[in-house]
Amino acid sequence: MERTFSIIKPDATKRNITGAINKIIEENNLKIVAQKRLKLSVEKAKGFYSVHQDKPFFNDLIDYMTSGPVIIQVLEGNNAVEEYRKIMGSTNPDNADKGTIRKEFALNIQENSVHGSDSPSNANIEIKYFFDDSEIVI
């Protein structure tokens, strides 16, 4: 069993498709063991995406991620990090495989509906950035 961190992003909460995304997550044997709906502060979003702070899209990314509510989640399952990345599809929906969340729902490379951790060690860091252990219930 492994855990990964997920964000359902503002483009998805605005279009009321969070349930449709959760359905795909659950159908693929990932269990949502923690979930919160909140609006990210600029400070929290900048801290989360600090690895991208020198990228040309950083300011737009922070504006977008703070433009509306997000759903933050902890997902648990076998190979959860890799499995969720498969289900999400490529960052750019134009390159995503059919049936993936981003192919079905993402609007463009920035408004791409979901985030998922890229490694088990980053999953651990990202989960701790948002959740206390007591908020994760199996």
28 binds ligand CMP (CB under 6 A): no
Give the integer Cα–Cα distance in Å for 128 and 107: 29
52 given a catalytic annotation: no
Angle at 32 between CA 76 and CA 68, to 5 degrees: 125
By CB under 6 A, which span of 16-24, 35-43, 69-77, 110-118 interacts with ligand CMP? 110-118
Beta carbon of residue 99, minimum distance to ligand CMP (angstroms, whole number): 19
91 binds ligand CMP (CB under 6 A): yes
- 3 state SS of 126: helix
Task: Assess contact for 75 and 4: CB atoms under 8 A.
Answer: yes
Beta carbon of residue 110, minimum distance to ligand CMP (angstroms, whole number): 4
Question: Per DSSP, what are the bridge partners of residue 94?
Answer: none
61 binds ligand CMP (CB under 6 A): yes
By CB under 6 A, which span of 17-25, 76-84, 106-114, 121-129 interacts with ligand CMP? 106-114
Task: Assess contact for 44 and 132: CB atoms under 8 A.
Answer: no
Instruction: Report the catalytic residues.
Output: 115
